[in-house]
Amino acid sequence: MTRRKASTGSPQPSKRTKVSEDGTRSTNGSVDSPTTVRGTATDTLQDDAIDEAKMKLPSSPVSPSPAPRTSRPHRAATQRALAATAVIVAEDDATAAVPSRDLIHEQLFTPITETELKAWQGWSDIESEPEFFNFILNGLGIQDATIFELMGVDESSISYLPWPLGLIFLYKFVEEDAEEEYEHCPEHLWFANQTTENACGTIAMLNIAMNCERLGLGEHLTRFKAATQPLHPALRGHLLSSDEAIRSTHNSFARRIDMLMSDLSLKLEWAGAGKKAKRKNANNKKKRKKAADEDEPAFHFIAYVPMGNDVWELNGMQEKPLKLGPFNGDWTASARERIATRMAKYASYDESAGFSLLALCHTPKKENAAGQANESNGVGELNNGTNGTSKWGPPTTNSNDEDDSGVRRAAARKGDYTPAVHFWLKKLADKGVLQRLATGEPDDQIIEEDEMV
């Protein structure tokens, strides 16, 4: 609002001008004709001029004010699209990464190499065959020793053996009774626990060989025995299972499919550990009777060896060794009695129980056989220096003939014939022979169908 200056002369009272809503003006209550107030009119003209100028300006896009992140649906849609694209790409990559069936078969049936065998951390199953045990025994560097198979546990079955140093008993594994009184391992006894699966055969052999002073252990096992003698049996077993030379020798007969099955078995066992824990409080007797029905039967090797004046049962699955008692002369009598008791006990509730008995015997070379026969009159003297009467004659010499049937059988078992068998079956399938054998259709009809396809 602007103020007017008064005219010259006497002062006159000021007049207040009011503007009504319809644009009329009144002074001191009087209403005049509609007239625009000067100050108000100026402002109105300025506003009109500004509006007119804006209308003449070229139109330009107006940027809206940025909206919050939550009010941008296009960004969420973009993220969903990117996620969907990533899924599609991942599926394509996964599909492309799956090898063909032929490639899978080629890799599955490829013979194992020595490098792969040494790098593999598992232990494979070994059959209870003397030829295979002798191969491993020689591979470990143990000298002047041979494994023989026994057909029974009676005296007549064992009388032909040349100086037995230990027995290896194979049976279907069951939980042991808690009533057995196991003793702490004495310092003079070398005993290793089994800390890994499928290693019981080699552990049983070593639990015998490490306690026989007359056997040559070779450089590696001699150092290993000296390093592990002061240790606990569990730690000995851990170091044994971690030893690459011992493990790779044990796996001499492993095929690729055996390695894959061993890894799969370990994985399934790990997955089922929680389920087995829920049945931990089950009755031990019932558990033994149902062991063969619950899972695939597992077989276990244990050793019997004379040491000092006593006979010991060395079971790698037990923390401590079991002393069977003293012996005089024939130490195998105590071991055979214990084995016969085990066989009768297991066979009472498991008709399919299978057993095998091997003997590790002292068989020096020809140049050493005569001298050692004169030095010792019995297996008791041979093992630990005790006096005993031997019913066994001089030790049988160990043959180095490469044409020996046992050596040839072990070499044949060491070969992997799976690739050849797979290739042969594939060719038979391609020729339609397998289809004829499965359906009984004649070859001519199969050939005609193949030509039509």
Sorted by where each starts, the structural domains of the chain and their CATH numbers stand as: 114-268+285-414 (3.40.532.10), 418-452 (no CATH)
pLDDT score, position 385: 37
Cα(289)–Cα(348) distance, integer angstroms: 9
Residue 13: the pLDDT is 45
Please tell me the distance from the alpha carbon of residue 437 to that of residue 330, in angstroms, as a whole number.
Answer: 58
Q: Are 191 and 321 in contact (CB under 8 A)?
A: yes
Amino acid in the structure at residue 272: G
Within its chain, how far is the Cα of 339 from the centroid?
Answer: 33
DSSP secondary structure code for residue 23 in this structure: S
Confidence (pLDDT) at 338: 92
In terms of C-beta density within 10 A (0-12 exposed, 13-18 middle, 19 or more buried), how is residue 198 classed?
buried
**Cα 273 to Cα 410: distance, rounded to the nearest angstrom:** 36
pTM: 0.64
Q: What is the pLDDT of residue 301?
A: 94
CB 327, CB 311: distance < 8 Å? yes
Task: Give the Cα separation of 338 and 180 in Å (integer).
Answer: 13
Q: How far, in Å, CA of 386 to CA of 329, rounded? A: 9
Specify the DSSP class assigned to residue 317: T
Please name which of 234, 356, 359 lies closest in space to residue 305, comparing C-alpha atoms.
Answer: 359
Spans of the chain, pLDDT less than 50: 1-42, 45, 60-63, 70-71, 285, 288-293, 373-390, 397, 402-403, 452-453
Cβ(329)–Cβ(388) below 8 Å: yes
Beta bridge partners of 150: 357
Starting at the edge strand found earlier in the chain, the sheet holding 17-19 runs 17-19, 24-27, 30-34
Question: Which amino acid, one-letter code, is at 90?
Answer: A
Query: Helices (DSSP H) in 279-386: which residue ranges?
Result: 284-289, 291-294, 332-347, 366-375, 379-384
Report the pLDDT value the prediction gives residue 204, as an integer from 0 to 100.
Answer: 95
* Confidence at residue 205, expressed as pLDDT on a 0 to 100 scale: 95
Contact present, 241 and 248 (Cβ < 8 Å): no
Amino acid 315: pLDDT: 94
Tell me how far apart the alpha carbons of residues 295 and 233 are, in angstroms, rounded to a whole number. 28
Q: Residue 195: what pLDDT? A: 92
**pLDDT score, position 230:** 92
pLDDT at 256: 83
- Cβ(69)–Cβ(75) below 8 Å: yes
End-to-end CA distance of the chain: 104
In angstroms, the Cα distances linking 390 to 103, 154, 186, 354, 377 are: 61, 17, 27, 31, 6
User: How much is the pLDDT for 448?
Assistant: 52
Task: Give the strand pairing for 356-362 and 164-172.
Answer: antiparallel
Question: H or E stretch including 356?
Answer: strand 356-362
Cβ atoms of 341 and 171 closer than 8 Å = no
- pLDDT per residue over 268-281, tens digit each? 877 776 665 556 55
